[in-house]
Structure formats: C-alpha cells, structure tokens
Amino acid sequence: MLEKESQARIIGYSGTLTESFVAIMALVTACILNQHLYFAMNAPTAVTGGTPESAAEYVNGLGLSGDPATAAQLEEAARAVGEESVISRTGGAPTLAMGMADTMQEAFGGESMRSFWYHFAIMFEALFILTTVDAGTRVARFMLSDGLSNVKGAKRFKDPSWRSGAWLCTLIVVGLWGSILLMGVTDPLGGINTLFPLFGIANQLLAAIALTVVLVVALKRGLFKWAWIPGVPLVWDLVVTMTASWEKIFSNNRHRRTVRLRQSDSKRRAAVNGGRADQLQVLRTHRHDPDTYRKGGAAGIGRVSDEESGTVASLTRRGLRAVRWYVRSVMGDNHYRRYVEHQAARHPGTPPLSESDYWRNRYAAQDNNPPGRCC
C-alpha cells in the first residue's frame, strides 16, 4: 500500500516503463533468434512432429532466409540451455528466455552461463505472471468485500481489518482462480477458449474501472469541464467491451463467439485424427453450436421462474442447480455428454466416439489449429 498519494505517480510511471521494457525485450528476442529455431519453437506439435528431424524438415520448407536447419542444431540448442527439447515450446516464455540467454551469455559468463540465463529468464517470467495474479487476487478480494458490504446485514465486510471477512473473500476469489485451472485440466480446448476471451474482457473492464475512478474524482472535485477527458474513453471502452461480451455469449455467428478455425490440410488432419475427419467435423460443429449455452441457460432460468407456487427454499435450490449446470457447461464438464446427445439426434447411424477418443480428437484439433495468444 502507498504511504502517501504523492508516491502513486513515480510507482505508476516506473511500473509502466518496466513493463514496456519486457515488451521491448520480447521484440528484440524475436529479431535476434535464428528464424528456423524460432519457428521450430513456436509451431505446434501437429506441424513439427515433435522431433528434431521432423521439425527441421518443417522449418526448412517455410522458405526462410539463412542456411537450412538440421536436427543436430535443434538438439544442440536444447542441450545448451539444459533442456531435453525445445521443439514446439509455444507460449512465448521459452522463446523470450532463449533470446535473453543468447544476449546475456555474451555479456556475462560466456557459453557456460547460457543455461543459467535461460532458466533465470523463465523464473523471471513466472514471477512476473505470479505478481500479476497476486495483484488481481487482491483487487478482486477488495471488490468482493466492498460489494458484500452493501448487502443488508453485511456491513462489516467494509472493514478491511476484519480477518474472517478477508479470509472468506480471499477463499472465494482463489476458488475462482482454481476453477480456471480446472478448466485447463479437464478440457484442453474448452479451457483456453474460455480463459482467453475472459482474460481480454476482464483486462478491458479493469481499464473501465480505472477510468470510472478518475471520472468520479473529477466530478467530486467540481472539475466538470474536464470530466470529458476520462468520460469519453470510459464510454467507448464500455460500449466496445460489453458489446463484445454480449456477442461472445449470444451471437448466432460462431466466428464472433470464438477464434476462427483455419482450414487444415486434409492429409495432416486424417493422420492426426486417425482418418476420422468426419468425426472431427462433428466435434467442431458441436463445440461452436451458438445455442449451446444460451438455450441451456435460458431453460435453467425458465425452470426457476415457472415455479411461482414453490417455496423460497425450493426456488433457491432450483436456481443454484441452474447456475451449477451453466458453470459446468462453460467449464467443459458436460461436453462429452452433449456430444453423445448431438450424435444421437443428428447422426443416429454413426456410433459416437469413446470419451477418451473424444478428448484425444479435441486435443488434436487444438494442436492442428492453435488459437491466438497474447504472448
């Protein structure tokens, strides 16, 4: 926490400059790395094959400048940083670490320190992300406790020194983070397809909160003629973000609801999916069904609203069950069951995949058509 308000400016500007430095380092890394190594690290396993030989063959076919890569060079790159393999290490962090190690070993320690700098960079990125998660958890906890304090009989949540309230709100927020982790474990596709848009929406709404605070402060101080400065971007931010959020949930256009799947090579798709491209198409159609969540959620809510003659406790239980159904659907727990129902209704003559094959094919589709990412 800040000791005084005057410290906010230096901390804010310093944090901005530090984060921009990380972005500059990422750009420098992408420029100095060998092009063949860069694409071998960032292409999905479905196209690199996961081995140095197949990865070298893949990157050499991209028409990149410079000498062709060899399997021995890719193996040596992994050995130099103390890794078994660097093939298809997507996500951005290994690439940045590889570039930082290449730069730092020339300035400090030489080739013998390359592995140290690589893992130091990995640790730096992990801490950078974890501090962001920590800050987000704290902010979410304060927002939750402040919101609960507006409920009748829960005024005590407004007191930050009340440990029981702080522990309860922290437990709820951490539980929400845990549910996101659960998505990635139980549904390799549904996790990222839910988390990535959620991250983008939350990021923009965080900016809206900051602009709202500035606008309120300006109005409280009577600076009405300057209120348009935070007000205009606030309105624009809210309109764009809320419209995108609405489209994400309710749009009939599936391309607005998720990342557009690129058409993959038919031979590669047949190899990846054991020649069952028709089953994979069913999985894609089922996954992007625009009515999946809307109709299900409306049905759940409708069942609650139709029970006007029931007791409050009964309505509450039914409402909680509807919410539980919706959350489980979003997290992917019901995907296989919905797929079986879809097969029975639309393709009665085709036997459904087993649950293990279903998830294996969805994971193969993810490798073959990787979604966009922020870093």
Among residues of the chain, what percentage have pLDDT more than 70? Answer: 72
pLDDT at site 189: 52
Rounded to whole angstroms, the Cα distance separating 98 from 81 reads 8
Packed helices 71-80 and 35-42: angle between N→C axes, nearest 10 degrees:
80
pLDDT score of 53 more than 80: yes
Q: Which whole number is the average pLDDT over 331-358?
A: 79
Structure tokens at 12: 């804010």
pLDDT at site 368: 60
pLDDT score of 330 more than 70: no
pLDDT score of 275 more than 70: no
Give, as one character, the DSSP assignment of residue 6: T
Distances in whole angstroms, Cα of residue 159 to Cα of each of 2, 151, 167: 18, 14, 12
Banded pLDDT at 293 (limits 50, 70, 90): very low
**Segment of 94-103, 195-204, 279-288 carrying the highest mean pLDDT:** 94-103
pLDDT score of 211 more than 50: yes
Structure tokens at 336: 């296989």
Name the region of 70 (left: φ>0; alpha: ψ -120 to 50; beta: rest).
beta
pLDDT score of 81 more than 60: yes
User: What is the number of other CB atoms lying within 10 angstroms of the CB of residue 122?
Assistant: 19
Rounded to whole angstroms, the Cα distance separating 101 from 33 reads 11
pLDDT score of 10 more than 80: yes
Among residues of the chain, what percentage have pLDDT more than 90? Answer: 10
pLDDT at site 131: 80
Q: How far is CA 39 from the centre of its chain?
A: 22
